[in-house]
Amino acid sequence: MTLKEKWRKKFKFINWYFPYLFSGIKITEVDQEITRIVVEMKLKWFNRNMVGTHFGGSLYAMCDPHFMFIIMMNLGGEYIVWDKSAKIEFLKPGKGTVKGIFEISLDEIQKIKEDIDEIGKNTYWFKAQVKDERGIIVAALDKEIYVRKKNFTPKAS
């Protein structure tokens, strides 16, 4: 069984991770290549804010680790991958079920790998949106991911 196959099986258990479980966040889809992760959150009494819409912290939590996971799973153990920074902009009140799709193409991942193999480390920015059931954007996310090769040796000039 490959590393990706092992991790695809583990993704269903992430829904039992306490910050997700107690916020009502669920990973609903992970594709075969682990390049696309879909996350949903239903509006419940325990994830509402004082005005009856989705709590901003829960909206961010549903977005937090997925770009990092995608890169980690596709680059493998020779690379260190960390979330470095994020910006989330709340555009509309979140009501009902909201959904976020986090996707990085295999071409983008290959480009990251080539960059890191050449320069050793870098950061990359990714964008995602959280939408409600009508497709209206509730929040926009910009996420910065740090990637470093574990045993990088610069090439001699």
pLDDT digits (tens, 9 = 90+) for 52-102: 999 999 999 999 999 999 999 999 999 999 999 999 999 999 999 999 999
Alpha-carbon distance 112 to 122, whole Å?
9
Q: Give 88-139 pLDDT, tens digit per residue.
A: 999 999 999 999 999 999 999 999 999 999 999 999 999 999 999 999 999 9
* Angle of the 3-14 helix axis to the 66-75 helix axis, nearest 10: 160
Give the model's pLDDT for residue 3. 66
The C-alpha atoms of residue 32 and residue 62 are separated, in whole angstroms, by 21
Complete edge-to-edge strand list for the sheet that includes strand 98-103: 25-30, 36-41, 98-103, 121-131, 137-149, 79-90
Say what the pLDDT of residue 155 is: 73
3-state secondary structure 142-155: EEEEEEEECCCCCC
CATH topology of domain 3-149: Thiol Ester Dehydrase; Chain A (3.10.129)
Q: What's the predicted TM-score (pTM) here?
A: 0.90
Mean pLDDT for 6-12 is 70
